[in-house]
Each structure stands twice: as C-alpha cells, then as structure tokens.
Structure 1
Amino acid sequence: MSPELLAVSFALLSAISWGAGDFSGGVAARRLNPYLIALLVHATGLLLFTLLALLRGEAFQPSDIPWSLGAGLAGCVGLVFLYRAFEAGQMGLAAPIAGVVGAGLAALVGVVLEGFPAPLQLLGFGVGLLGVWLAARPEGGAASRGLAYAFLAGLGFGGYFTLINQVEGLFWPSALAKLTATTLMLGLVGRLGLLRREARLATSLGLVVLAGLLDAGGNLLFLAAAQAGRLDVAAVISSLYPAFTALLAWGLLRERLGRSQTVGVLLSLVAIALIASG
C-alpha cells in the first residue's frame, strides 16, 4: 500500500473512532459535568498510550516534549468545549462546526508548511463558512452558546492537529499530551469539587471509558496518518468525524434539525470533503 493511501486509510479510521467517541462522550455529557467527562477521557487515553509505549519499547524523544505539551493543552481545550457544546445543544449541529473550524485551521497551517491549497480546498473553505453561518441561525441562548463552544472546540482541535504533527514518536508523545490534559483537568475538577458532588458517575462510567478509548484510538490513528502523509490531508479527512457523530445521534437519539440547520450541517460536511479531496 502506498504511503498516500495508507495515510488516507488511517485518517478515515481516525474519523470513525473520533465520531463514535464524541457520540459516547456527548451522551455522557447530558448526565455528568463535561469537565469531569473530559478528565476521565484524557485519563483513559493516558493509561492506554503509556501501556502501549511500554509494551512496544518505544524510545522516548526529548525533542517531542514541547510539541506534546502544546498538543495536550490544545486537545484539552478542544474536548472540553466540544462537550460543553454537546451539553448546550445538539450533537449533530455542534460536531460539524467543530470539524470545519479544526480542519480549516490545520489546512491554513498547511499552506505555510506545505504550500498553497488546491482550488477544491479553497472552495471548501467558502462552503464551510456558509454552512457555519446557516447552522448558526437558530435563536435562543442555549443554541448560541452551543455554537460558540463548538467554534472554540474547533480551534482547539486545529491546534492539536498542527502541534502533534511535529513529533517523531508515536505512543510516548500521545501519552505526554494526555498527561498534560489530564493534569489540567484534574486541577480544574478538584478545584470545583466535582468528584464529591457527582453521584451519577458510577452509572455512566462505562460510557465515559468507552469515549476515552475511542478518543485515544482517534488520536493514535491521526498521528499515524500525519506521519505517513501530509498534515492537511490527515487533518481534514480525520475531521470527517462529525458525519459519524451526527449519524449516530440521528439513528440512536432521533435528533431532528430545522431546515436551515440541516442545510448548514450538510454544507459543513461537504466542505470537509472538498478540503480533503483537494
């Protein structure tokens, strides 16, 4: 298999894993505090990546430390705001907006690192902006708040894509990024006293652990895709994850969107496909 095809395959698998993980985390976010969910998701990934690094005997690269720390911070911000968006609004609406913003930011960084994007990618930017505008039309505080959170989540994910692409290793950089995010969330959750106040944790723990494993799988597959091919291709194809989140939300939760919102979501997904095909 050629490196290009391998990169696309890894990126698509990453999108599936992230989409299912976001759905699991989004369902949990309707029962538990999103900060607590983000902590447990990151902690699950930390344990998994550390175990894989030790089992594989991967050498630790000191040069990966600053990139991993930055990626962990960006990923932590992205996941927290995504769960806040899910808590405030519909998963099928918030996930595509976060995906478009994250993919667009990574593609813009790719312009600097790897040259100007193809015409289809430029078209994708325009379609994505239109999709975000249409999706943002519904009125109401919760909807507006959810859209703002989704946009901030996309910025966090775009930062993660860009920073983690700079590392040389595989499991140790991912573990260090998760350690950074886990430490940040542990401090926040401890300061807010959420572990003491959250009585429903035991009933949703399995769902949160599943979200953590799927999120970690998406992270690992994205990094493998970025190392096998171009950053922008890996990032934008991985950002197809909202399609899987929206599909699960539609099929399992029977979520419904208004006409304008539906068009906005579809355009957002088309934009990601255009950016990837370019």
Structure 2
Amino acid sequence: MASLAFGLVAALCWGIHDICVRYVSQRTGILPALATVLIIGTIVMAPAAFFMGDWRVMDIRALMLSAASGIAFTLAYLGLYKAFEIGPVRLVAPIIGAYPILSVGWAAASGQAVTADQWLAVAAVIAGVAIVGMLTDEAASSGNKRTAILWAMLGGTAFAATFALGQAAAHAGSEAAAILITRVVAVALALVLLVGSGGIRWPARSALPLLGLMGVLDCIALGIVIAAASMARPEFASVAASTFGMITVILAWAILRERMTPGQWAGVVLTFSAIGYLAT
C-alpha cells in the first residue's frame, strides 16, 4: 500500500533527523534549533509549492485547516523535544508513539471503515514501537516524570492532529499549497515562542550544516505524510510514520554502534510484521 510506503519514508527521514538532534542539542537550545530547522525546510520547499500548488482552490476552509496543521506541528515538535529532554526514553517514547490510535480513530469517526484486524495491526505497530522504547537504556530522568508524560502526551496528540488536519487541508485544496502554509504557520509560531522565551537566539554557525540537513529531512517527512491524503487509507501513512523513534534506535545501532537487545529486535520484527499485514 502506497500510503504505508510514504509513512516509512517519513519515519526514516525523522529517524535520521533525531540522530542529528543528539549532536545539535548540546550546542544550542531546543527553540533556536526548532525554529532554524522549520525555516530551512520551508525555504527549501517554497519554490516547488509556488509553482506546483493550485492556489486557486485554496478557499478559506483549506487555509484554516492548513494553518491549524502548522500550529499542531509546532506543538508536536515542542512536546517531542521537551519530553526527550526530561526523559527517560522508555517512559516517553511509547506515549508519543501511540498517536496512530488517534489518527485511525479520526479516520473511523470520519466514515472510513476500519476492520478489527486492522485495529489489531495498528495496536501491534504501537506495541512494537513501545517495546523498543521501553528497552532503551536511557533510564535517567532530568526532571519530573509527570511533566515528561504531559509533554509526551502533547507531542503524540499534536502529531495526530498535524496529520489529520494536514490531510484534510490537502483534500479541501491543493497538497503543495497546504504543505507550504502549514510550514509557514509553524515557522511563525516557533518564532513567537522563541521571542517569548527571552528573545531570538540563533544557533552557532558551525551547527548550520547539520540543521540544514535536518530541515530538508523534516520538509520531506511532513510533506509526504500530508501528500498521502490522495492515496487509499491515508491514515496508515501516520501509522507507519510513528515508527520514527524505533528507526532512530536502529540507526543508532547501525551508525553509532549502540547496543540493541534481543527484546528490541523482537519489537522491530513485530512492528514491521504488522505494517506488512496492513499493506496486504
């Protein structure tokens, strides 16, 4: 199923993005990095969106849905970054990774038929991601765990809202235009939060190449999940994209030589087996 393939590409992009976060998080704050990544990604996709987007069909409903998706996306990233900053990973990763329940639930509430076996497969994807996160070695917490849970809940809920609103905006108007508006609004909100936190502070020049790569990856990931709106079962793109945390762990094993336990590999097998089942 094409929507699942799109979601897996998004998960890979966000997985690489999160590997990069490990390096830049020690050099700059969360909000400066987030704003820079969003700005770079928006600049990269703006020319294509202007030429490929059908701006004539972007009525007030499509514009409002796109703007709401942009707000949700900024909140999703903020919740994700803050939850992982406080930790531990085994606590917050399963909460954030559970957002496909909301995505599929929204699709069901909108009239899309979701069978019992599809619900079970979605649950298996979430369980696999949760297993990998819970068995991650980072057990230390740098703050209140209840606060970490709240940030993780914000991140997961906002991710589900981002994809649902973004795909609805693409249905109501033009995919390319909806994606660009989503990103412009996300940039604006990130800048507002940055100013509110004590003024605009940009990352060091040495961090810009890595932040640029993160911006491109983020642009691709968000764009293809929203673009899945025109495919069959677009909510399954959100399901596959939710594996980005697990992809990060796999990439850390492959690139950074971090250890993966047999239990984590079992979670990986469970997750991709369930995705394979959804694709049939």
1:178 aligns with 2:183: yes
Distance 1:127 1:171 in 2: 29
Contact 1:236 1:272 in 2 (8 A): no
Matches for 1:124-163 after TM superposition, within 5 Å: 124-125=122-123, 128=126, 132=130, 135=134, 138=139, 140-142=141-143, 144=145, 146=148, 148-163=150-165
User: Alpha-carbon deviation of 1:194?
Assistant: 5.1
User: Alpha-carbon deviation of 1:152?
Assistant: 2.4
Gaps of 5+ in 1: none
Distance 1:46 1:127 in 2: 30
| RMSD (Å) for aligned C-alpha atoms | 3.3
Contact 2:10 2:225 in 1 (8 A): yes
Q: 1:229 aligns with which of 229, 232, 235?
A: 232
1:210 aligns with 2:206: no
**Deviations 1:99-144, CA, capped at 9 Å, x for gaps:** x222221011122121234325236437846975982995745483
User: Alpha-carbon deviation of 1:186?
Assistant: 0.6
Q: Which residue identity does 1:155 align to in structure 2?
A: T
Contact 2:15 2:244 in 1 (8 A): yes
1:110 aligns with 2:112: no
Q: 1:76 aligns with which of 68, 74, 77?
A: 74
Distance 2:212 2:91 in 1: 24
1:44 aligns with 2:49: no
**TM-score under structure 1 length normalisation:** 0.80
Q: Which residue identity does 1:32 align to in structure 2?
A: T
1:165 aligns with 2:158: no
Q: Which residue identity does 1:218 align to in structure 2?
A: A
Matches for 1:258-277 after TM superposition, within 5 Å: 263=263, 267=267, 270=270, 274=274, 277=277
Distance 2:237 2:108 in 1: 14
Distance 1:203 1:65 in 2: 37
Gaps of 5+ in 2: none
Distance 2:239 2:225 in 1: 10
**TM-score under structure 2 length normalisation:** 0.80
Contact 1:96 1:243 in 2 (8 A): no
Percent identity of paired positions between Structure 1 and Structure 2: 23
**3-state SS, counterpart of residue 14 of structure 2:** helix
Q: Which residue identity does 1:160 align to in structure 2?
A: T
